[in-house]
Amino acid sequence: MKENPETTAKQAFVAAEHCHTLLHEVFSRLKNRKDLPQGPLDNIEILCKHMTRVRTFTDASIPKKIGVFGRPKQGKSSLLNALMGVEILPTGRATTSRAVIEIHGRGTGNDNPFEVLVTEDDGFQEKHFPADPHRVLEITTQYGAHGKSPNQQSAKKITVVGNFPNSNIFGDNAHLLDTPGAETAFEDLDKKSAEDREGKKLKEDTDRALAMLDETHVVLFITGVAQLESPSAMKFYKEYLRIRRPLCIVNFLDKWCPEEENGNTDPCRIASKIYGFPMDRTLAVSSKWAEEAKYEKTLRDKDAWVKSGMPALEDVIRRDLQTLTPEKAIGFSLDNLVTALNELNQSLETRKQYFPRRVEVVSLQDALAQCDGSWALSIIEKLTALSHKWFL
């Protein structure tokens, strides 16, 4: 008899809870050890946080949020426009995103191509039904950017729902978030009085961006090639983003000059050295080249699109979205836990004291045994093999 899909999903979710318990118990026993290398400990903590995010998806209808974070003028909005395949977010030197802008994709069978809900600072909401992307851009610019225009209105959040046929992201039930550029507040607030109007605005933007971090499932950290050594960006990354396992994106690849960088042709390697970015999670892109390649798929210059780095970024984002399902997350977490424990192997005088306990492993195996699918059997086999090593 075939399993009910809803029952199967619940069983996978229970298995994810047991996997999270196993990870949490291992980390709890290791986290206060001052004599252990920090890298593997950080990786185990990252796995715990990852499983925390996975457990928020109690059913398949809950969207997965992709948030872009970085200093102002690093091309965050341009990057999101490229991922959406249409220009609806304000870009350029005259504007900086202020409101959090959340973009939802939907099917094409709707009379209104776009819906925009503007939530102002006082809680008032106003709905718009723009007929085309240009009008959406006017609304997001009017309500969602810092500017000097006396007619510019403030907004706390802007939600855009629309059809995005040129995007490869929304098919995974993903929402995109454009957040205020927050990091400069660390520098500027040190120089400004707390009563200063500009200082208050910077602090509000920072608080808003940090609040969104807690709602973000896939974090994109973006920095420009010309500002790889920004103190505020490094501080923001190390204090708030590193432990969230972000995708690290070096933008403005079109401005990279190897001749000025002692012949270095790979900005990702340099960024990795400066920030400590993991190389397998660092990509270089050019939102300018993506725009020049044309967003519309039927008109797109494929070679220029590949050169922009956008296809590689899309692939990595979709891979990360898939690891948010219990089926992928459990196997991913166990594989990385084994790697971290192997790295700690040399530093632990009594290894078995810090391995998962038998009761934690058996509980996870029992939960997996209730799941329908070859993925669960594969993980059970892996756990059985690991148990021989851990519990000898």
pLDDT value of position 151:
56
**How much is the pLDDT for 189?**
45
**Mean pLDDT value across the chain:** 84
User: Sorting pLDDT into bands at 50, 70 and 90, what band is 71?
Assistant: confident
**Greater confidence, 373 or 129?**
129
Whether the per-residue pLDDT at 329 is higher than 90: the answer is yes
Q: Reply yes or no on whether the pLDDT at 56 is more than 80.
A: yes
Q: 360 and 29 in contact (C-beta within 8 Å)? A: no
Provide the CA 11 distance to its chain's centre, in angstroms.
Answer: 26
Task: Retrieve residue 79's tokens.
Answer: 């990057």
pLDDT at 347: 63
When mean pLDDT is compared across 98-102, 147-151, 179-183, 243-247, the lowest value belongs to 147-151
% of the chain exceeding 90 in pLDDT: 44
Backbone phi and psi for residue 97, each to the nearest 5 degrees, phi listed first: -60, 130
Torsion 177-243-280-378 (CA) sign: negative
For residue 378, pLDDT over 60 is answered with: yes
Comparing 191 with 158, the larger pLDDT belongs to: 158
Query: Could you tell me the pLDDT band of residue 185, with boundaries at 50, 70 and 90?
Result: low
Lowest mean pLDDT among 37-41, 67-71, 226-230: 226-230
Which strands sit side by side in the sheet containing 100-106, from one edge to the other? 125-128, 114-119, 157-163, 100-106, 174-178, 64-69, 218-224, 247-251, 282-284
Task: Identify the band that residue 342 occupies on the pLDDT scale cut at 50, 70 and 90.
Answer: confident
CATH T-level assignment (fold) for domain 64-322: Rossmann fold (3.40.50)
Q: What is the pLDDT of residue 110?
A: 64
Strand partners, 65: 175
What would the DSSP string read from start to end of 241-277? IGGG-PEEEEE-GGG--GGGGTT---HHHHHHHHH--
Give the start-to-end residue ranges of the domains of the chain.
5-57+325-390, 64-322
Q: Give the rounded percent of residues in the chain with a pLDDT score beyond 70.
A: 82
| Interhelix angle 5-30/38-54, nearest 10 degrees | 150
pLDDT at 219: 94
Query: Coil, strand or helix: which one is 209?
Result: helix
pLDDT score of 228 more than 70: yes
Q: In the beta sheet, which residues pair with residue 90?
A: none
What's residue 65's pLDDT? 93
Is residue 205's pLDDT more than 70? no
Q: Given a cut of 80, is residue 199 above it in pLDDT?
A: no
pLDDT at 142: 87
Provide the Cα torsion 125, 129, 135, 138; round to 10°.
0
Read off the pLDDT of each residue in 264-291 and give the average, rounded to a whole number.
89
Indicate if the pLDDT at residue 66 is higher than 90.
yes
Which has the minimum average pLDDT: 81-95, 147-161, 302-316, 356-370? 147-161
Say what the pLDDT of residue 214 is: 84
Report the pLDDT averaged over residues 160-166.
92
- First-last CA distance in the chain: 39
Q: What is the pLDDT of residue 371?
A: 92
Question: Looking at the predicted structure, is the pLDDT value of residue 105 above 70?
Answer: yes
Mean pLDDT (whole number) for 365-381: 93
